[in-house]
């Protein structure tokens, strides 16, 4: 039986993983998120992070790194998605300015809403997935983009077709490697992408047995800092 959408508000300052504030943030998450339902199906999760500032210790932080503590508590501790991150079919995340700091979670069994904004890049990636920030499997195909504004924000969509990918490991390969490979579009250099400019992120997967493995990559302008 599919789970009806559930929305959960977590009050506190969202912190990325491997930072000094992660432990306190995970405690707040654990106190607010209920145990996952047994025998019900949830397809994906939408996460909105609200911040007074996009800096931690005067450094910008990445949206995918923000997702890791949430998924750790939601899946590994509270056993949503059957307690297995590979069971997640899609994740939609965004970070916004708001004086009321916290995180809004929506757990859903329906398809996510697409990211809106002016389309900058639409690319179909064939072949092996990048295995790290310096793997040229994708970024060589994206060379030649004009310099982006230093205040530009981006929305990135990654749709994996026929790839056995664990979307729940969003802060590591292969999702992270693909994001890092977008530096010709979002700014930065090899191994040093400006992925903190990504304020909206949608990753999803599906199976199409008659097709070759692909990743549909879309980048959109979604505002400015």
Q: pLDDT tens across 93-112, in order? A: 999 999 999 999 999 989 99
6-108 is classed CATH 3.30.1330.70? yes
* pLDDT above 90 for 147: no
Sign of CA dihedral 106, 169, 94, 15: positive
3-state secondary structure of 120: strand
Taking Cα atoms as reference points, which of 35, 92, 85 lies closest to residue 64? 92
In which band, very low, low, confident or very high, does the pLDDT at 3 lie, cut at 50, 70 and 90?
low
CA 179/CA 144 separation, integer angstroms: 17
Q: Which residues make up the CATH 3.30.1330.70 domain(s) of the chain?
A: 6-108
* pLDDT above 70 for 137: yes
Q: Are 185 and 191 in contact (CB under 8 A)?
A: no
Distance of CA 164 to the CA centre of its chain: 17
Specify the pLDDT at position 114. Answer: 96
Specify the pLDDT at position 211. Answer: 83
Within 13 Å, how many C-alpha atoms sit on residue 171's CB side? 16
pLDDT tens column, 62-93? 899 999 999 999 999 999 999 999 999 999 99
Specify the pLDDT at position 87. Answer: 94
Tell me, yes or no, if the pTM score tops 0.85.
yes
* pLDDT above 60 for 1: no
Tokens standing for 43? 């397809």
Q: What is the CATH number of domain 118-224?
A: 3.30.1330
Q: Are 169 and 161 in contact (CB under 8 A)?
A: no
pLDDT tens column, 205-222? 999 887 899 999 999 999
3-state secondary structure of 30: helix
pLDDT tens column, 4-63? 689 999 999 999 888 888 999 999 999 999 999 887 678 999 999 998 877 666 667 789
**69 forms bridges with which residues in the sheet?**
none
Q: What are the start-end ranges of the E strands in 102-213?
A: 102-108, 118-126, 152-161, 188-189, 192-193, 198-206
pLDDT tens column, 116-133? 999 999 999 998 888 887
């Amino acid at each position: 039986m599919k789970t009806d959408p559930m929305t959960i508000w977590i009050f506190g300052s969202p912190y990325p993983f491997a930072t000094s504030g992660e432990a306190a943030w995970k405690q707040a998450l654990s106190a607010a998120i209920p145990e996952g339902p047994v025998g019900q199906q949830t397809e994906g999760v939408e996460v909105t992070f609200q911040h007074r500032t996009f800096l931690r210790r005067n450094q910008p932080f990445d949206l995918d790194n923000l997702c890791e503590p949430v998924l750790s508590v939601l899946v590994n501790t509270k056993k949503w998605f059957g307690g297995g991150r590979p069971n997640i079919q899609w994740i939609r995340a965004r970070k916004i300015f708001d004086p009321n700091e916290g995180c809004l979670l929506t757990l859903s069994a329906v398809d996510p809403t697409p990211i809106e904004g002016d389309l900058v890049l639409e690319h179909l990636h064939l072949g092996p997935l990048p295995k790290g920030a310096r793997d040229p499997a994708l970024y060589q195909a994206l060379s030649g983009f004009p310099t982006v504004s230093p205040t530009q924000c981006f929305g990135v969509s990654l749709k994996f077709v026929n790839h056995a990918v664990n979307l729940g490991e969003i802060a590591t390969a292969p999702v992270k490697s693909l994001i890092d490979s977008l530096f010709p579009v979002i700014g930065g250099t090899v191994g040093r992408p400006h992925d903190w400019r990504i304020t909206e992120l949608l990753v999803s997967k599906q199976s199409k047995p008659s097709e070759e493995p692909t990743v549909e990559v879309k980048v959109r302008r979604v505002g400015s800092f």
